[in-house]
Amino acid sequence: MPSNRPSPLIPLGDLARQSRHTGSAYRLCGPDDVQPFALRGRVQTHPMTAGATLHLVDVVDEHAQNVHIQLKPGLRIAWVLRGRADVRYGSQRVLMQPGRGGPTAHAVALAEGESFTRYATPGGRESTVSLCLTPDWLAQAACSSADAVSRLSQQHLQCAHWQAPPALHAVLQGLLGETGLAPELHALYLQGCFQMLAAHALQGLAGPDAGREAAAPLRRRPMEQVRELLDSGQADRWSLEAIARHHHMSAATLQRHFQQAFGMGVFAYQRRRRLQQARAALARGEVDVAGAAALAGYRHAANFSTAFRRQFGISPLQARG
């Protein structure tokens, strides 16, 4: 969760480098020459497969200032958790903010490249998670809603919005917090969250009744094989895409079917399994708390202890044999 302390200014070079994943002709416009563009907090753009991106924003604007960029084609979906996002896609102005029941998904289809502007006010706050699903990514995401989503994606500047389900709130909040995970696990965490958000977005774009079927028996065995691979430890350092390729399916299909089969995503299963291994090692007296944290993939014992207590209801010290 965001701290009450003032966040550091984001280096403008960092913003420019990250913009290359989303478009071109990136410009930052401050109010005047005396007050240059200044943004505090965190902006992260994480590339995914087939040109898709996961974009995380948790910022406060110092001035009335604008961001301009020429976006690449794709479906853009955003969830504003705090504050507001005042943006323009071409001629379409959109004001996004949380709904009464929590975050609302806002989607806009860009069938072609389009100009984008973000408008900010002095002291304005924005905490947003957003995705860009490129045409190549959509072509690879075989699902029951593919036809409906494909039609929408070809309607330039077509907008849609729907209420995010409660199960998604924790995923969105977690992406803007600190996980304390080792780099390889953090990458898997981001990939898993991206796939889960993308799956919900595809379902939401196709309509309220799309994609709600239970896991069919024919899907159960492949998911059991995935679980066997995870339990073996062989895939502990694999990306979600590598696990999916190993089982001859897309990452989106893997995440969706695993969730249907076991009630949790691939990363959530991996995290729980490694916490269980750490608890067993503690009970046998094989490791101390720091060693158990490393075994579970956490860099910091404090983050490990928090996750451990949340999972088991006791502290790591209480679990030691």
Q: Please tell me whether residues 78 and 224 are part of one structural domain.
A: no
Task: Assess whether 275 and 314 both reside in one domain.
Answer: yes
For the stretch 108-160, pLDDT in tens is 999 999 999 999 988 899 999 999 999 989 888 766 566 678 778 888 888 88
In a domain, 128, yes or no: yes
Tens digit of pLDDT for each residue in 178-190?
A: 888 888 889 999 9
Which pLDDT score, from 0 to 100, does residue 139 have?
A: 84
Within this chain, do residues 72 and 176 fall inside the same structural domain, yes or no? yes
- Pair (258, 277) in one structural domain: no
For the whole model, what pTM was predicted? 0.67
Residues 315 and 258 in one domain: no
Q: Quote the mean pLDDT of the chain.
A: 86
User: Containing domain of residue 278, as a range?
Assistant: 269-319
Is residue 286 domain-shared with residue 250, that is, in the same domain?
no
Domain boundary among 181, 196, 228: 181
The answer on 145 and 233 residing in a single domain is no
- Determine the Cα–Cα distance for residues 79 and 318; give it in Å rounded to an integer: 39
DSSP 64: S
Identify residue 234 by its one-letter amino acid code: Q
Same domain, 105 and 175: yes
For the beta sheet containing 104-110, the strands, ordered from the edge strand earlier in sequence to the opposite edge, are: 39-47, 53-61, 125-133, 74-83, 104-110, 159-163
Whole-angstrom distance, CA of residue 311 vs CA of residue 272:
8
Residues 256-286 pLDDT 10s: 888 777 777 898 888 888 998 999 999 889 9
Find the CATH number of the domain harbouring 59. 2.60.120.10
Q: What is the CATH number of the domain that holds 315?
A: 1.10.10
45 and 169 in a single domain? The answer is: yes
Same-domain status, 227 and 258: yes
| Judgement on whether residues 115 and 217 belong to the same structural domain of the protein | no
